[in-house]
Structures are given as structure tokens and as C-alpha cells.
Structure 1
Amino acid sequence: MDVKSRLYKPGEIYQVSTMTALLDGVYDGVLNYDQIKQHGNFGIGTFSHLDGELIGFDGNFYRLRGGCAVPMVSQDRTPFCTVTYFNPQITYTVDKPMNKITFEKLLKKLVPSENLFYAVCIDGIFKEVNTRTVSYQEKYIPMTEAVNSQQTINFKNVKGKIVGFWTPFYAQGIAVSGYHFHFIDDALQKGGHVFDYTVDDVKISIDQKTHMNLYTPDIKSFLNAKLSRNDLMNEIKIAEG
């Protein structure tokens, strides 16, 4: 029996650590690339010291840093990521411009309930995608401060993929509730965490999930982290843009 067949569970999302830990500055990488890819071929996350944004699809994973994309390597480590094996049950095509608000209302109509988890891929032409990548953090400062050094890149009339997840609101703090998306262009050269976007001609693929497998690190920084946040919603709003 190979590694994938031992670890793979249909309908499962595998997550490393929690969003509240990231907010508290727990940036130590706890799993490497070889370990996380055993749990999925699709996902998003970040890297040790917040050194870039992580995106994966079709079994290929990339580090998005300073607006540029490079393939992940074995020694790359993550303090926070969400991965899954992507097997969409729902597909839909949009062939006219839609802004983020209108498009995400459509996404909600395509799924049976907001109370489930979904992996989402949006593939095609975008009129605009606004992204950021957080810069390397030498010191472990709260993420709401770390984003002050983020780099932004805005794409116009670009072909590429938006990859990410819908997380139910009851799981806020474990992950980012609502939609959490990363983008990479079709040339696999640039991308980042998505702030805003307008689609033009895209294919939507949605994979409904019924299980979350949460890995909680036993490293000192996680064990000592303040995971009960006094102003969780506002901190996530600042951190995620």
C-alpha cells in the first residue's frame, strides 16, 4: 500500500495549525513539502517566517514571493496550510464580467449549504486580480503587524487560476471563514494572496468536503500561543485584507 492510499480519505481537508496561531506570530515551519503533499494535490498556505504564499493544484505546489512564483522543494516548510485531493462534483462556466461580490454570491448558489467545507478552483481569464505576498519576518510579531510589509501586485486581463477554500463561519479562527483564495498566472510566474478580483471568462470547479483533519503542532511557540483572541474578526480582517 502506497503513502497516498494510507493517508487519503475522500472528502477530507487536511490543515496544518490554526489561523489564530498565525495571528499570534507562530511562524515556525512544522511540516515540509514532502509531508504536506502526502495529504493532497491542491491547497493554499504560507511558509516559515511568512516567507511567501503557498499555492498548489494538479499536484504541483509553488511559493509566491515578491510577486514571483517558484516550485516548492523538499526543504520548504509551512507553519500553516490547507490541502486536499481535489475531486470536484460541481462545475459551472461564467462568460461575462462579474466583480468579487457578485461572483461570490453565485458561488453560494452553486453549493447546497454554507455549513460545509468546499475546495474551489476558478480557472480562466480575469479582468483584474489584486494580490499580496507578505515579506519574510525575522522576529515573531503578530500577523496584523507583519502585513504592514506586504508587497502587492495587480493583474489586468490575465489568464490564470484562483485556488482556495470556503470555510463555514463556525470554524472562524481554525481557518479563515468565508472564501480564502490565492492566485497564480497561467505562465506560473506570478501570483499571491487574493484581495479582490473581477472574472471575465472562467470555469468554476467545486469539491464538497465533509471532514477536516487538523494537525496541531507540539512546538513551544504553538504551546505558548495565545489562541483565544479578543478581537478575532478584526484581526483576521486586517491580516487577510
Structure 2
Amino acid sequence: MSTQTCHCAEHIAAAYVEHHQHTGEGEIYQTSLMSALIDGVYEGDTTMADLLKHGDFGLGTFNQLDGELIAFDKTIFQLRGDGSARHADPDQKTPFAVMTFFKPEISQTFDHPMSRQELHDVIDSLVPSDNIFCAVRIDGAFEHVRTRTVPKQTPPYKPMLEAIAAQPEFRFDHVNGVIAGFRSPQYTQGINVAGYHEHFITDTRQGGGHVQDYELACGTLQIGRVSKLVIDLPTNASFLGANLTPDNIHAAIEQAEK
């Protein structure tokens, strides 16, 4: 009886994932909380293979805060502390990541330069409600992209604002690439990153990082609206002992995401 029950549960879970992949009904899967990352919880048990069961598009980081994570087209890349990029291994783990099956409902092409703020204004006009999530992808030629990447940390871990104090920054000029990210509602601050959170990788897949600024020369914007959020909370000692509601959480996240 127990074996049959297990198989039945696995079948239902597989059918649920299959449903969301083919109906386009948006759902975000998230492992851990941004406030945990801010507090220095840099170890998780969720693997890259696990993430791809919940989405084909997203972003996050790796255990020990070892670079930035960008995912699209069912592939996950690690954007490293030296500005380089590589394919992530299936067994690498993450302390924080956000994934979805990307189902763009809105697409717009630009044949003239657009700043990051101008593109965000376009997205805000196309999806005016801040009460749902947007998955955002930009493919194109960029005049420049400015990024940063947190270097790998070692125990005992410092809080994130201390860890990023000396983070390296990089600038990619006249480059083609992909930006993948989310616009999250303001009410999710601390759970997620409220507002825009974007990562970049070059078309050669050799460089990238967490986006600080960019100017698009020409390219295509795709937006998928997402109305469901599923959070998988860790149960390890560092998460259970973390301060997830500090007084300065909004300012801390804004500083971390600059």
C-alpha cells in the first residue's frame, strides 16, 4: 500500500509540473528567502537539477555565495567572481534561487537605444499592476552592461552587506547577450527582492553578472506575468537560527542589489 501511495504522489507531482509547462499558468518556485541571504545563510540543499524540475528560467546564487546564477532555455549558468561564466553542474547547490517556466505573453522589439530605466518604464506601462510578478527576458545588442559578482565566501560567513563590500564590478561594452530577471511586488521585500532583479550573460556565454545598469542598442523584450508563488524553506540550523526580520531589511536589500 505504501509503495502504491508513493508512486501515486510522484505521478500527481509529475502531472502538475507537466500541466504548468503546457498551459502557461504562471508559477514562481523559490528556495529560501532573500532575508536569509542578507543574514549570511549561504548554504542550501537544493541542486541545479532540482531547480530545473521547477522551471526553465530564473536567477539566484550558489552555495558559499559563489557567483550569480542565471537560467534560461532550460540551462543554468554560473557567473563567477572574476566576471567569467560557465555551465553549472547538476549537483551544484543553491541557498537562494527563483525559477519559473517562462511563458511570455508580451513581446516588444526596439530598434533604437533604450536605457535600463526606459525599459523598466515600458514594462511598467505594459503590466501596470505591481501586485503580480513579471518574468522578464531581454535579448539584444547592448551599448554597455555594468555588472557585479560576489566572490566565493568561506565560513564563518559574514552578513551579505559585509561580504559584498569589496565585490568586483565589470563592464561589457558593445556586446550581445541575454538579461533574465523578475519584477517582484513591493510587498515581497525580504521574501524576495522587491522591484527589478536582473542577471546578464554574453552571447558567447563567457561573461556576465548581477546587473547594475545597461543600455540596450536594439533587441527584444519578452514579459511573462506570474500569479503564483511557492516557497521551499530550508530546515538547516543556519536558516532556523537566522534573523529574518531585521529592522533595516528594506535598506539592506536595496544596498545589496545596487
Determine if the TM-score, normalized by the shorter chain, exceeds 0.5. Answer: yes
CA distance change for structure 1 residues 4 and 147 in 2, over 3 Å: closer, same or farther? farther
3-state secondary structure, aligned to 2:42: coil
Q: State how 1:176-187 maps to structure 2 within 5 Å.
A: 176-187=193-204
Could you tell me which residue of structure 2 aligns to residue 220 of structure 1?
237
Q: Is residue 73 of structure 2 the alignment partner of residue 73 of structure 1?
A: no
Matched AA of 1:132? R
Q: What's the counterpart of residue 176 of structure 2? A: 159
What does residue 111 of structure 1 align with? Answer: 127
User: Which residue does the alignment assign to 1:146?
Assistant: 163
Q: Is the 8 A contact 1:133 1:192 kept in 2?
A: yes
User: Is residue 208 from structure 1 mapped to residue 225 from structure 2 by the alignment?
Assistant: yes
Measure the CA separation in 2 of the matches of 1:3 and 1:93. 37
Structure 1 residue runs of 5 or longer lacking an equivalent are none
- Code of the residue aligned with 1:92 in structure 2: it is Q
- 8 Å CA contact 1:64–1:190 kept in 2: the answer is yes
SS of aligned partner of 1:74: coil
Matched, 1:42 2:52: no
Partner SS state of residue 148, structure 1: coil
Aligned equivalent of 2:3: none
- Is this contact kept in 1: 2:134–2:184, CA < 8 A? yes
Note the C-alpha offset of 1:5.
3.6
CA deviation map 1:165-206 (0-9, x unaligned): 010001111110001000000011100000011111010000
**SS state of the match for residue 121, structure 2?**
helix
Q: Which has the larger radius of gyration?
A: 2
State whether residues 4 and 38 of structure 1, in contact with CA within 8 Å, keep that contact through their aligned partners in structure 2.
no
- Name the amino acid aligned to 2:95: P
Q: Aligned partners of 2:190 and 2:149: how far apart in 1? A: 21
Deviation, structure 1 residue 238:
1.5
More helix by share: 2
Structure 1 residue 114, shift from structure 2 partner: 1.5
Shift of 1:113: 1.4
Q: In structure 2, how many angstroms separate the alpha carbons of the residues matched to 1:4 and 1:36? A: 14
Report the equivalent of 2:67. Answer: 52
1:173 to 190, 202, 216: 190
Moved over 2 A (4+): 1-10
Distance in structure 2 (CA, Å) of the matches to 1:210 and 1:124: 27
Q: Distance in 1 between matches of 2:60 and 2:193?
A: 11
The match for 2:79 among 53, 64, 70 is 64
CA contact (8 A) 1:33 1:74 kept: yes
Give the fraction of aligned pairs with identical amino acids, expressed as a percent.
43
Correspondence for 1:123: 139
Name the counterpart of 1:7.
Answer: 17
1:189 aligns with 2:206: yes
**Aligned-residue RMSD, C-alpha:** 1.3
**Scaled by the length of structure 1, what TM-score is found?**
0.96
Q: Which moved further from structure 2: 184-193 or 65-74?
A: 65-74
1:82 is paired with a residue of what secondary structure? strand
Task: State the alpha-carbon separation in 2 of the partners of residues 189 and 68 from structure 1.
Answer: 5
- 2:4 corresponds in structure 1 to none
Distance in 2 between the 1:2 and 1:17 partners? 24
Kindly provide the CA deviation profile for residues 84-122 of structure 1, in whole angstroms up to 9, marking residues without a partner as x: 100100001111112122221111111141211010000
- The answer on whether the counterparts of 1:115 and 1:168 sit within 8 Å (CA) in structure 2 is yes
TM-score (norm 2): 0.90
Distance 1:87 1:154 in 2: 30
The runs of 5 or more residues in structure 2 that have no matched partner are 1-10
For this pair of structures, how many residues does the alignment match? Answer: 241
Cα pair distance change 1:152/1:5, threshold 3 Å: farther
2:142 alignment partner AA: F
